[in-house]
Amino acid sequence: MPLVTSKEMLLKAQQGGYAVGAFNAENMEMVKAIIQAAEELKAPVMIQTTPSTIKYGTLETYQAIVAAEAAKASVPVCLHLDHGSSFDLAMKALKAGYTSVMIDGSKLDYEGNIEVSKKVADVAASMGIPCEAELGKVGGKEDDLVAVADTNTDPQEAKEFAERTGVTSLAVAIGTAHGFYVGTPVLDKERLSEIRKVVDIPLVLHGASGLSDEDVMDCVKRGICKVNFATELRAAYSKAVRETLEDEKVFDPKAYGKAGIAAVKELVMARMKVCGCDGKAE
């Protein structure tokens, strides 16, 4: 089917008490793996690209790949700009045919974040496209953005932020980090519950790669409607390719591409089940 927006799938997840898996893709093989997993499990799915991925391949290239694969699928597929780094990039993504965008103003002060988030949300809304924003700082590294320490989201600020910006979903910081964790992450789940009490729009969990299944499921129970997975998909793909190339007779890119697809598909299916979105596609 044609690409869909994230609005309906996230609202259904919020009403149904599950989360939509949102998976970052770097190439055609990863796109195929993610959609194949969604098809097999009958799950709605979001495919995401970050600014560095877009710099590598361009918005138009990824939109064309995802749209072509989604057209053959029977499940809803959304193409999302992850960690949009500027108003300009968000506008280019909308023009290129992305069906969901994120503006990440978390590196700015509170008022600056509100200003840029509202600006993007207003334009996106005029086009019928949902807009995600982030409040608080998720630790670790995502592209060129580095957070040295976590600054968790304040519930009352989150309420005001959602009301003033008009964004349709909100990524919150509760102790997660981008990339793989060093040590065991300590999540402020009670803070998540407090945010959910005062914020009506769907909540998003970033930095889920490396979290235990139990932690992800608990966050979903407390109100998370979208869970982002990126680093672990890259690791699974690279590991499969590396192992395939140990055989020096292998020179056909399709051989290690197929291995990468299989590894990513298996991981995505496992994560979809943890999020509870399997069987939720209509």
> For residue range 4-33, what is the model confidence (pLDDT) as tens digits?
999 999 999 999 999 999 999 999 999 999
Per-residue confidence (pLDDT) for residue 137, from 0 to 100: 67
Within a domain: 20: yes
Our answer to whether residue 82 is catalytic in this structure is yes
> For residue range 170-193, what is the model confidence (pLDDT) as tens digits?
999 998 775 554 556 778 999 999
191-220: average pLDDT: 94
Per-residue confidence (pLDDT) for residue 209, from 0 to 100: 82
Fill in the amino acid letter for 241: V
Q: What domain range is 160 assigned to?
A: 7-275
Within a domain: 231: yes
> For residue range 50-108, what is the model confidence (pLDDT) as tens digits?
999 999 999 999 999 999 999 999 999 999 999 999 999 999 999 999 999 999 999 99
**DSSP letter assigned to residue 151:** B
Per-residue confidence (pLDDT) for residue 147, from 0 to 100: 43
Report whether 50 belongs to an annotated binding site. Answer: no
Question: What CATH number does the domain containing 129 carry?
Answer: 3.20.20.70
Q: What percent of the chain has pLDDT over 90?
A: 87
Report whether 230 belongs to an annotated binding site. Answer: yes
Q: Is 202 helix (H, G, I), strand (E, B) or coil?
A: coil
**DSSP letter assigned to residue 245:** T
Within a domain: 282: no
Q: Find where tokens 């149904």 sit.
A: 16
Within a domain: 185: yes
Number of domains composing the chain: 1
Q: How buried is 148 (Cβ within 10 angstroms: 0-12 exposed, 13-18 middle, 19+ buried)? A: exposed
| DSSP H helical ranges for the chain | 7-16, 28-41, 51-57, 59-71, 87-96, 110-126, 155-165, 189-198, 213-221, 231-244, 253-275
The residue among 19, 73, 21, 84 whose CA lies nearest residue 49 is: 84
230-245: average pLDDT: 96
- Beta strand 145-147 with 139-142: parallel, antiparallel or unpaired? antiparallel
126-143: average pLDDT: 80
Report whether 252 belongs to an annotated binding site. Answer: no
pLDDT over threshold 60, residue 149: no
228-255: average pLDDT: 96
Q: Are 161 and 135 in contact (CB under 8 A)?
A: yes
Report whether 206 belongs to an annotated binding site. Answer: yes
Distance CA 12, CA 143 (A): 30
Per-residue confidence (pLDDT) for residue 178, from 0 to 100: 58
Report whether 179 belongs to an annotated binding site. Answer: yes
Q: Which of 82, 154, 215, 278 is catalytic?
A: 82
pLDDT over threshold 50, residue 161: yes
Within a domain: 168: yes
Q: What is the dihedral of CA 116, 11, 177, 197, to 10 degrees?
A: 90
Q: Find where tokens 């499969």 sit.
A: 240
3-state SS string for 159-194: HHHHHHHCCCEEEECCCCEECCCCCCCCCCHHHHHH
